[in-house]
Amino acid sequence: MPTVHVRLSQRVPETLAPELMKRLFFAASSIEEFQLFTEDGSVVGVELTLNSADSAGVAEKIDRVVAEQVLTQRPLAPRSVWESPVVRSEFTDAFPELLAQDTVVVSGEGQVGFAEPLISLFGYLDRRLRAIALSLEGAREYQYPTLLPTSVLDRFGYFGSFPQFPMFVTRLHNDIDVYADFVERYREEQRVPDDLFAHCSNTDYCLPPTMCYHSFHQYQGRELAGDSVITARGKSFRYESRYHTSLERLWDFTIREIVFMGTPEFAAECRNSVMRQTFALMEELELAGGCEVANDHFFANADTAGKILSQRMMELKFELLLPVAADRSIAVGSFNLHGHFFGESFDIKGPDGGPIASGCVGFGLERLVHAFLSQHGSDPARWPTAVAQEIG
Amino acid sequence: MADNRAVIREFILESITESTVGDDEDIFERGLVRSMFVMQLVLFVEQEFGISVTGDDLQFDNFRTVERIDELVTRKLAAA
């Protein structure tokens, strides 16, 4: 595969390098690998491994991402709101060993299955987070179906902000001629036709990128009797391109979500309460980590820089970051406030007749397992006693 | 400076449906503007007053009211 060195038309300050890195695989599908080149504190070029010969076209796309989505951003100084008292200097990359033992199974891109003792660890961590959710007054748990109507994401402009993530569900169009034509071709070619989608027309459903959209959909057009808390655990799906890694970043993963709906003060109090309890849990689990102001991964949108700036300035999003290596941490949870955005988008009213304010907290359970294994190793005998006892 | 306040007030009034805004009124808390408006405010003060708003100046509190924006502009102009 050709490796080419592309010089950027505009330099990118190193503080914005992560913003470029997390967009490159979405810029062009032909990029297999990349490495940034820096000079005097700025990124000046990218070395690309491409699966096509069109390096000029790819360079043009990267320049566009740099100009429209990276350089328009204003870096804010990191702001930490919590630091775990647990300090750790040794980390384990347990994944290769778990793979060799068949304890984890890679079934596709960003799709990983696992066996004991990870199932019990996963269940234990979720039970603890679920208990935090249910400690909030009036909290109710729901189990949602996997499929989410596409119209739910459409209702609040998801596709405009995150066009890179959604995964759609379709099927063959229900018409005897379509089935007959498809079956005939399938028999002839002995494989699914390349133009499969020409036989499909339905885009009514997609896979949920997170759980809270199920909850807003549930209460769409309704008036709440009072402040409400909902928790749900479910499979969530985001197309992560080539960014998928071990259990760390998956296309197909599980979220434990907590949604708060009511007055702005109620949403803020719930977020604070969940944050406090989560930090205490991390300490109890003997995990190193911290919590910082963060932003969502907006993409391909003229408003990207404005959305990121306002989200960070107003501290609408905090992320729980746990180290998985000496020089690298991953976000295992986020604590968010939405203002009246979802109340207005889904026409959910409070007792005063006005739109509700909302907030949500989401934990990526596979990621939490991954961070736990990175810090404590894969041998349950070396896990904190409380965890080892609970999972028996 | 009173003149700067008038210019800031005018910019905000062009973006909201209300016809008046108090200098000490929190335009975000009152729901007069969406959170995204903060980016427009940053770009506006930079272009209008020829200042650069970065790092520690990018505090939400600096942009909540006409008064606070004016204070930021005055401080930046004095330091320039």
User: Could you give the CA distance from residue A239 to residue A19 in angstroms, rounded to a whole number?
Assistant: 18
Is residue A300 pLDDT above 80, yes or no?
Answer: no
Q: Per the CB < 8 Å rule, is A306 touching B38?
A: yes
Q: Per the CB < 8 Å rule, is A313 touching B54?
A: no
> Which residues in chain B are contacts of A303 at CB distance < 8 A?
36, 39
Mean pLDDT of A196-222: 93
Q: What is the pLDDT of residue A78?
A: 86
Tens-digit pLDDT profile for residues B5-44: 999 999 999 988 888 999 999 998 887 888 888 989 999 9
Of B15, B58, B59, which to mutate for an interface test with A (greatest number of A Cβ within 10 Å)? B58
Q: In which band, very low, low, confident or very high, does the pLDDT at B2 lie, cut at 50, 70 and 90?
A: low
DSSP-assigned letter for residue A356: P
Q: Is A41 exposed, middle or buried (0-12, 13-18, 19+ CB in 10 A)?
A: exposed
Q: Per the CB < 8 Å rule, is B60 touching A314?
A: yes
Coil/strand/helix, residue A57: helix
User: Could you give the CA distance from residue A334 to residue A318 in angstroms, rounded to a whole number?
Assistant: 6
Q: What is the DSSP string of A84-131?
A: -S---------HHHHHHTTSEEEEETTEEEE-TTHHHHHHHHHHHHHH
Domains of chain B: 4-79 (1.10.1200.10)
> Which residues in chain A are contacts of B39 at CB distance < 8 A?
303, 305-306, 309-310
User: Could you give the CA distance from residue A10 to residue A121 in angstroms, rounded to a whole number?
Assistant: 47
Dihedral, CA of residue A173, residue A178, residue A181 and residue A184, to nearest 10: 50
Mean pLDDT of A155-162: 93
Tens-digit pLDDT profile for residues A66-82: 999 999 998 888 899 99
Q: Mean pLDDT over all residues of chain B?
A: 90
Taking phi over 0 as left and psi of -120 to 50 as alpha, with beta for the rest, A280 belongs to alpha
Candidate from B37, B54, B56 with C-beta closest to A74: B54
Is residue A85 pLDDT above 80, yes or no?
Answer: yes
Q: Per the CB < 8 Å rule, is A303 touching B36?
A: yes
Q: In which band, very low, low, confident or very high, does the pLDDT at B1 lie, cut at 50, 70 and 90?
A: low
In 3D space, the residue among A322, A386, A391, A384 whose CA is nearest the CA of residue A91 turns out to be: A322
In 3D space, the residue among A255, A253, A324 whose CA is nearest the CA of residue A109 turns out to be: A253
Is residue A185 pLDDT above 70, yes or no?
Answer: yes
Nearest residue of chain B to residue A304 (CA atoms): B36
Q: Per the CB < 8 Å rule, is B42 touching A74?
A: yes
Q: Per the CB < 8 Å rule, is B60 touching A313?
A: yes
Q: What is the pLDDT of residue B68?
A: 96
Q: Mean pLDDT over all residues of chain A?
A: 94
Dihedral, CA of residue A74, residue A238, residue A157 and residue A359, to nearest 10: -70
Q: In which band, very low, low, confident or very high, does the pLDDT at A88 lie, cut at 50, 70 and 90?
A: very high
Please give the distance of CA A287 from its chain centroid, rounded to a whole number: 21
Q: What is the pLDDT of residue A96?
A: 95
Mean pLDDT of A23-42: 94
Mean pLDDT of B57-73: 94
Please give the distance of CA A191 from its chain centroid, rounded to a whole number: 33
**B61 vs A: CB within 8 A:** no
Nearest residue of chain A to residue B64 (CA atoms): A314
Check the CA dihedral B49-B53-B56-B62 and report its sign.
Answer: positive
Is residue A134 pLDDT above 90, yes or no?
Answer: yes
Is residue A29 pLDDT above 60, yes or no?
Answer: yes
Tens-digit pLDDT profile for residues A52-70: 888 999 999 999 999 999 9
Residues in chain A: 392
Residue with token string 């390096």: A55
**For chain A, what percent of residues have pLDDT higher than 70?**
100
DSSP-assigned letter for residue A44: E
Q: What is the pLDDT of residue A193?
A: 85
Tens-digit pLDDT profile for residues A255-291: 999 999 999 999 999 999 999 999 999 999 999 999 9
Q: What is the pLDDT of residue A392?
A: 63
Candidate from B39, B55, B56 with C-beta closest to A309: B39
**For chain A, what percent of residues have pLDDT higher than 90?**
87
